[in-house]
């Protein structure tokens, strides 16, 4: 491969959007976690310190990914995919993976822990982009074009489901679906796939009792206010208490142990309580900006591989954001998906920002069309 | 082509994303702006808690200011579900283990109270300090367990005046329903009087509950107190009861039952009522057996409750007012008064008692088989000679006797404030007709034999001890029938008297003072040497007037009665004593009355002076 054209400045709108989201995240993680941190760790800055540290590391990674020539990514795509595949298997092995709340999602590494599914999502996107570039001509064919991609995605999705982590598996599969569609797959094929995925989803939901109860809880949280509905109700109370302008930064009451996961999956509710409708609308707008710039980068990307990569990364982050906000507003069933760039969590931040680095990288090669 | 196709397809996504973001924003707007206030209120309900603070119940004193019912501080343990169901269940299991109660009992308590979520539910009251310490030590694993102090009813004299004072307990569904219908302010979990003064003066005693409005975190830890209403203690009640007279009555009953237990092993129950002759104030009202009232105030084991509930002697029964008995010879003054008023007998007339009296061909006997020989009315009362009263009753007729009985308040509720008073029966011709219609008697006709039985207080008479003490007081005070008063005064929290007892005359028996004087003379003779209560009052420094009674009992030994008043010439106190299955009034009942008089007149009681003459069978 050789350099095709001169590098430009990266997409500044995208860059600023991400930096703003990241900053909101650091502030809100501190606000949401300080009481819990003090009670659990004796240090109200515990989560703030970690989130700051991880943000800096992740920003460094983002800059590195942004600077390198993106086809190096292409070159290593098989290796990255294979590596993440091994990690996904490793996390399932007792002794390597850490079990918590009945799921094995983490590999402890010293004082930090790694979430293989976070890498796997991006590795899958990179690898599928590569495959799609190769199969570009046969994409209209189900067996020659779609099936190989579906098999690869299915295996990764299946491994994530084994942890079990239905939410992540679902976002990964949906992202691959979007990539297929963008690559030119036939509508009929995709509709058929979606139709055949529905019964699988149904089985996945009803096979596990907790998933079923959670699913029903989202439809009517008040039917079981102290158990399955508790999380949702507390979430709604937080949002409702915020009103238009919010109760003020740092003045959330729901974070006083009422709202579980207040600095991770439920952070959007705390934003809603402290900053009000104005605040959350601003966050929604930022994610919309992100999606818009992401897809714009995909359209103006220099080649098919980078185009697919941009579609994948943008879709993945956007999906996660929509699902997380959907859960918090009781519009979707409860799944443990963090709000990208804002929720507390090292792995998520690291790989999300690496993904953003890819987007910014591609944006430097875009051409006006 | 590809770029154009890609752009087209991504635009589809763009639109989908816009729609998704718009829906999300709309949803947020709905939740935060339209439903905002509602959720805000609900969220406040989440963490704002009203912690009720029960008011200390009003204190109860005797007439001299001696504390009869007080309060003491006690620990209570409540729970509140603030964690997940499983965690809560585990907490309850653990708590149950420490408290020594089963999970089922806890569940039952929770179900009974059925409170809103996030409000404390009381699991145990009056928990001892050792147990509280244990809970405090394990507090980390007991999320949602709250320890509080609350005032608990305290009865320093335990079972003394059980039926006057009464006990308290948590309000039950039925009581709550009733109070709500009456428009009274009662809540689940309130302590309410269940018997005696505690019950009938509950609204005076209960006070006004207070509460704290506190903000708590999800674990129930206090964040701030937003407001507090200090509970107002209940009003203080001063009873007419005189502690030492009450104690004498109860101890006297216990003492006599113990003394006669070899001859009369079934004499285990009885009642005493003492009344101020000139005001109707109740100085003592005892019913045995009673029970330790403290048991109901604190933690009672099911065994303790069963022991009271299943006691064959029925300790809940207030025998002084709720059970009616045939009066036996204590009725004879009424028969005599009826005869005197109708003029069928004069004090100077002498009757001859051969030991038997014939009504038609039916022999009616005097209790003394050999007869008392020649006796007048005063002698008849002194010796309780049946023959004299058979003859007076035959001449007078039952209906006139019944009228006299009613004029002295017999056969009607006295109006004492205690709940559950019995009415009793004054038998006469009309009563028998109606009783026949109801299937109570075999015949509708009143026979002469019925009159003979009624004359000496046997047959169908049924009176309560409180009716008989009122009758006795009326004989002593010139015929004034009082409403018995039990409450002397009620004092509110500012020290103001909101109620002060005033004597209430229900009616005046229309008897002449001369006639009453004859009866009093006879009753004085009863306690003098040779009278039926002569040995019981031998050596007693104050002249007592009285009448013994021995009521036939189809179900066991005879019931022993004594009614009397003292001092005989300046009456102050009247007393009625009943010892069920005590055998004879002379031996089983009169000595108890003596103890009561001793206490009232501050006379040193001397065990040796208590003469029990088992030969004096009436």
Please identify, among B239, B256, B280, the residue that sits at the C-terminal boundary of a domain: B239
Q: Say yes or no: B471 and B355 in one domain.
A: yes
| pLDDT tier for residue B558 given thresholds of 50, 70 and 90 | very high
Answer yes or no: do A304 and B32 touch at CB < 8 A.
no
Q: Say yes or no: B216 and B350 in one domain.
A: no
Which pLDDT belongs to residue B217?
64
Which pLDDT belongs to residue B2?
57
Q: Say yes or no: B158 and B250 in one domain.
A: no
Average pLDDT of the segment spanning A57-78 = 88
Q: Say yes or no: B133 and B70 in one domain.
A: yes
Average pLDDT of chain B to the nearest whole number = 88
Query: Residue B14 falls within a domain, yes or no?
Result: no
Q: Say yes or no: B221 and B144 in one domain.
A: yes
Cβ–Cβ contact B15 with A under 8 A = no
| pLDDT tier for residue B480 given thresholds of 50, 70 and 90 | very high
Answer yes or no: do B10 and A295 touch at CB < 8 A.
yes
Domain that holds residue A336: 12-363
Q: How many domains does chain B have?
A: 2
**Cα(A3)–Cα(A5) distance, integer angstroms:** 6
Which of A34-48, B184-198, B308-322 bottoms out in mean pLDDT, i.e. has the lowest?
A34-48
Statement: residue A139 has pLDDT above 90: no
Query: Residue B143 falls within a domain, yes or no?
Result: yes
- B39-65 per-position pLDDT tens digit: 887 777 666 666 777 889 999 999 999
Statement: residue A113 has pLDDT above 50: yes
Which pLDDT belongs to residue B218?
61
Statement: residue A249 has pLDDT above 90: no
CA-based nearest residue in chain A for residue B222: A256
Average pLDDT of the segment spanning B548-561 = 92
Cβ–Cβ contact B139 with A under 8 A = no
Cβ–Cβ contact B37 with A under 8 A = yes
Which pLDDT belongs to residue B408?
97
Statement: residue B608 has pLDDT above 90: no
Which carries the bigger pLDDT value, residue B455 or residue A164? B455
Q: Say yes or no: B505 and B568 in one domain.
A: yes
Which of A160-164, B291-295, B563-567 bottoms out in mean pLDDT, i.e. has the lowest?
A160-164
Rounded to a whole number of angstroms, the distance from the CA of A355 to the nearest CA of chain B is 19
Chain A residues close to B140, C-beta within 8 Å: none
Q: Say yes or no: B196 and B323 in one domain.
A: no
Average pLDDT of the segment spanning A225-252 = 81
Domain that holds residue B228: 54-113+120-239
Cβ–Cβ contact B43 with A under 8 A = yes
Which carries the bigger pLDDT value, residue B149 or residue A58? A58
| pLDDT tier for residue A125 given thresholds of 50, 70 and 90 | very high
- A14-47 per-position pLDDT tens digit: 999 999 999 999 999 999 888 878 777 778 888 8
Q: Say yes or no: B489 and B568 in one domain.
A: yes
Which pLDDT belongs to residue B616?
45
Average pLDDT of the segment spanning B446-465 = 93
Query: Residue B495 falls within a domain, yes or no?
Result: yes
Query: Residue B7 falls within a domain, yes or no?
Result: no
Average pLDDT of the segment spanning A264-269 = 88
Element (H, E) at B102: none
- A313-354 per-position pLDDT tens digit: 999 999 999 999 998 998 888 888 899 999 998 888 999 999
Which of A210-214, B216-220, B339-343 bottoms out in mean pLDDT, i.e. has the lowest?
B216-220
Cβ–Cβ contact A325 with B under 8 A = yes
Q: How many domains does chain A have?
A: 1
Query: Which of 147-206 (A) contact B at CB < 8 A?
Result: 178, 181-182, 184
Chain B residues close to A239, C-beta within 8 Å: 28, 31-32, 36, 39
| pLDDT tier for residue A223 given thresholds of 50, 70 and 90 | low
- B586-600 per-position pLDDT tens digit: 999 999 999 999 999
Please identify, among B206, B239, B272, the residue that sits at the C-terminal boundary of a domain: B239
Query: Residue B451 falls within a domain, yes or no?
Result: yes
| pLDDT tier for residue B618 given thresholds of 50, 70 and 90 | very low
Which of B70-74, B164-168, B269-273 bottoms out in mean pLDDT, i.e. has the lowest?
B70-74
Average pLDDT of the segment spanning A223-245 = 79
Query: Residue B309 falls within a domain, yes or no?
Result: no
Which of A64-78, A249-263, B197-211, B407-421 bottoms out in mean pLDDT, i.e. has the lowest?
A249-263
Answer yes or no: do A277 and B29 touch at CB < 8 A.
yes
ipTM value > 0.90? no
Q: Say yes or no: B280 and B204 in one domain.
A: no
Please identify, among B224, B239, B254, the residue that sits at the C-terminal boundary of a domain: B239
β-strand pairing of B60-61 with B67-79: antiparallel
Query: Residue A369 falls within a domain, yes or no?
Result: no
Query: Residue B220 falls within a domain, yes or no?
Result: yes
Q: Say yes or no: B582 and B565 in one domain.
A: yes
- A166-179 per-position pLDDT tens digit: 888 889 999 999 89
Q: Say yes or no: B206 and B249 in one domain.
A: no
| pLDDT tier for residue A137 given thresholds of 50, 70 and 90 | confident
SS (H, E, C) chain A: CCCCCCCCCCCHHHHHHHHHHHHHHHHHHHHHHHHHHHHHHCCCCHHHHHHHHHHHHHHHHHHHHHHCCHHHHHHHHHHHHHHHHHHHHHCCCECCEEEECCEEEEEEECCEEECHHHHHHHHHHHHHHHHHHHCHHHCCCHHHHHHHHHHHHHHHHHHHHHCCCHHHHHHHHHHHHHHHHHHCCCHHHHHHHHHHHHHHHHHHHHHCHHHHHHHHHHHCHHHCCCCCCHHHHHHHHHHHHHCCCCCCCCCCCCCCCCCCCCCCCCHHHHHHHHHHHHHHHHHHHHHHHHHHHHHHHHHHCCCHHHHHHHHHHHHHHHHHHHHHHHHHCCCCCCCCCCCCCCCCCHHHHHHHHHHHHHHHHHHCCCCCC
Percent share of chain B, pLDDT over 90: 60
Query: Residue A4 falls within a domain, yes or no?
Result: no
Rounded to a whole number of angstroms, the distance from the CA of B188 to the nearest CA of chain A is 23
Which pLDDT belongs to residue B3?
64
- A186-204 per-position pLDDT tens digit: 888 888 888 888 888 788 7
Rounded to a whole number of angstroms, the distance from the CA of B12 to the nearest CA of chain A is 10
Chain A residues close to B18, C-beta within 8 Å: 288
Which pLDDT belongs to residue B318?
96
- A278-295 per-position pLDDT tens digit: 999 999 999 999 999 999
Average pLDDT of chain A to the nearest whole number = 85
Task: Determine contact, residues B207/B57, Cβ cutoff 8 Å.
Answer: yes
Average pLDDT of the segment spanning B70-96 = 81
Q: Say yes or no: B248 and B235 in one domain.
A: no
- B523-535 per-position pLDDT tens digit: 999 999 999 999 9
User: Which candidate from B25, B29, B39 shows the least CB-CB separation from A241?
Assistant: B39
| pLDDT tier for residue B617 given thresholds of 50, 70 and 90 | very low
CATH classification of the domain holding B189: 3.90.1310.10
Chain A residues close to B117, C-beta within 8 Å: 225-226
Rounded to a whole number of angstroms, the distance from the CA of B80 to the nearest CA of chain A is 12
| pLDDT tier for residue A368 given thresholds of 50, 70 and 90 | low
Residues of B serving a catalytic function are 329
Query: Residue B64 falls within a domain, yes or no?
Result: yes
CATH classification of the domain holding B276: 3.40.710.10
Statement: residue A100 has pLDDT above 80: no
């Amino acid at each position: 491969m050789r350099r095709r054209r001169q590098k430009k400045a990266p997409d500044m709108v995208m860059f600023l959007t991400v930096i703003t989201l990241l900053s909101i995240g650091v502030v809100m993680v501190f606000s949401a976690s300080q009481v819990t941190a003090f009670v659990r760790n004796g240090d109200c800055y515990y989560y703030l310190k970690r989130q700051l540290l991880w943000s800096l590391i992740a920003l460094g990674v983002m800059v590195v990914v942004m600077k390198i020539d993106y086809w190096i990514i292409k070159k290593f795509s098989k290796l990255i995919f294979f590596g993440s595949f091994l990690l996904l298997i490793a996390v399932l092995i007792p002794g390597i993976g850490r079990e918590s709340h009945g799921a094995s999602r983490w590999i402890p590494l010293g004082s930090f822990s790694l979430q293989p599914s976070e890498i796997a999502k991006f590795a899958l996107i990179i690898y599928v982009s590569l495959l799609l570039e190769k199969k570009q001509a046969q994409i209209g064919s189900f067996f020659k074009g779609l099936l190989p991609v579906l098999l690869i995605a299915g295996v990764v999705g299946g491994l994530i489901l084994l942890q079990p982590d239905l939410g992540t598996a679902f976002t990964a599969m949906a992202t691959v679906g979007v990539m297929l569609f963008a690559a030119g797959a036939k509508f009929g094929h995709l509709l058929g796939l979606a139709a055949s995925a529905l019964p699988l989803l149904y089985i996945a939901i009803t096979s596990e009792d907790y998933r079923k109860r959670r699913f029903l809880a989202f439809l009517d949280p008040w039917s079981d206010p102290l158990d399955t509905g508790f999380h949702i109700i507390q979430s709604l109370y937080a949002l409702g208490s915020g009103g238009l302008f919010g109760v003020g930064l740092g003045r959330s009451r729901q974070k006083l142990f009422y709202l579980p996961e207040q600095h991770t999956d439920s952070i959007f509710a705390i934003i809603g309580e402290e900053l009000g409708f104005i605040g959350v609308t601003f966050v929604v707008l930022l994610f919309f900006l992100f999606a818009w710039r992401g897809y714009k980068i995909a359209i103006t990307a220099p080649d098919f591989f980078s185009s697919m990569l941009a579609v994948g990364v943008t879709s993945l982050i956007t999906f996660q954001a929509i699902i997380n906000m959907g859960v918090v507003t009781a519009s979707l069933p409860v799944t443990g998906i963090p709000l990208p760039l804002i929720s507390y969590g090292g792995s998520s931040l690291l790989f999300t920002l690496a993904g953003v680095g890819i987007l910014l990288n591609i944006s430097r090669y875009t051409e006006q069309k | 082509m590809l770029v154009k196709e890609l752009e087209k397809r991504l635009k589809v996504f763009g639109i989908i994303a816009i729609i998704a973001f718009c829906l999300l924003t709309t949803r947020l707007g709905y939740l935060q702006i339209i439903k905002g206030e509602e959720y805000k209120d609900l969220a406040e309900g989440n963490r704002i808690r009203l912690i009720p603070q029960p008011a200390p119940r009003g204190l109860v004193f005797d007439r001299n200011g001696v504390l009869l019912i007080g309060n003491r501080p006690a620990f209570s343990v409540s729970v509140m579900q603030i964690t997940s169901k499983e965690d809560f269940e585990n907490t309850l299991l653990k708590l149950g283990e420490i408290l020594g109660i089963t999970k089922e009992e806890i569940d039952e308590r929770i179900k009974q109270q059925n409170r809103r979520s996030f409000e404390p539910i009381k699991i145990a009251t009056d928990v001892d300090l050792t147990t509280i310490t244990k809970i405090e030590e394990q507090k980390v694993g007991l999320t949602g367990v709250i320890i509080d102090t609350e005032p608990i009813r305290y009865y320093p004299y335990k079972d003394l005046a059980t039926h006057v004072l009464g006990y308290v307990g948590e309000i039950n569904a039925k009581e709550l329903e009733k109070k709500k219908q009456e428009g009274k302010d009662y809540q689940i979990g309130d302590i309410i009087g269940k018997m005696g003064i505690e019950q009938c003066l509950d609204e005076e005693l209960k006070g006004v509950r207070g509460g704290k409005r506190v903000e708590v975190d999800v674990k129930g830890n206090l964040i701030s107190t937003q407001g507090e209403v200090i509970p107002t203690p209940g009003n203080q009640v001063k009873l007419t009861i005189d502690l030492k007279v009450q104690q004498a009555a109860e101890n006297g009953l216990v003492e006599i039952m113990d003394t006669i237990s070899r001859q009369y092993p079934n004499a285990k129950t009885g009642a005493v009522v003492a009344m101020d002759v000139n005001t109707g104030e109740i100085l003592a009202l005892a019913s045995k057996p009673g029970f330790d009232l403290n048991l109901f105030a604190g933690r009672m084991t099911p065994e303790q409750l069963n022991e009271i509930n299943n006691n064959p002697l029925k300790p809940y029964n207030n025998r002084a007012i709720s059970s009616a008995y045939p009066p036996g010879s204590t009725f004879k003054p009424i028969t005599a008064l009826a005869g005197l008023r109708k003029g069928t007998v004069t004090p100077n007339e002498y009757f001859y008692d051969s030991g038997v009296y014939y009504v038609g061909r039916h022999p009616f006997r005097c209790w003394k088989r050999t007869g008392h020989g020649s006796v007048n009315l005063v002698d008849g009362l002194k010796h309780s000679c049946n023959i004299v009263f058979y003859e007076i009753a035959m001449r007078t007729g039952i209906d006139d006797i019944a009228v006299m009985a009613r004029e002295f308040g017999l056969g009607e509720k006295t109006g004492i404030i205690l709940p559950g008073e019995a009415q009793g029966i004054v038998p006469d011709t009309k009563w028998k007709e109606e009783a026949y219609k109801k299937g109570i008697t075999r015949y509708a006709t009143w026979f002469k034999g019925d009159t003979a039985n009624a004359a000496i207080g046997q047959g169908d008479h049924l009176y309560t001890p409180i009716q008989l003490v009122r009758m006795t007081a009326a004989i002593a005070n010139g015929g004034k029938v009082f409403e018995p008063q039990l409450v002397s005064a009620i004092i509110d929290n500012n020290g103001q008297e909101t109620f002060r007892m005033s004597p209430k005359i229900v009616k005046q028996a229309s008897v002449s003072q001369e006639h009453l004087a004859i009866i009093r003379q006879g009753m004085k003779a009863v306690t003098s040497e040779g009278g039926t209560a002569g040995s019981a009052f031998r050596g007693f420094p104050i002249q007592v007037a009285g009448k013994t009674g021995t009521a036939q009992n189809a179900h066991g030994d005879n019931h022993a009665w004594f009614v009397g008043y003292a001092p005989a010439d300046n009456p102050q106190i009247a007393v009625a004593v009943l010892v069920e299955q005590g055998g004879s009034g002379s031996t089983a009942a009169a000595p108890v009355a003596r103890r009561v008089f001793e206490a009232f007149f501050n006379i040193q009681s001397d065990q040796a002076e208590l003469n029990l003459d088992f030969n004096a069978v009436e």
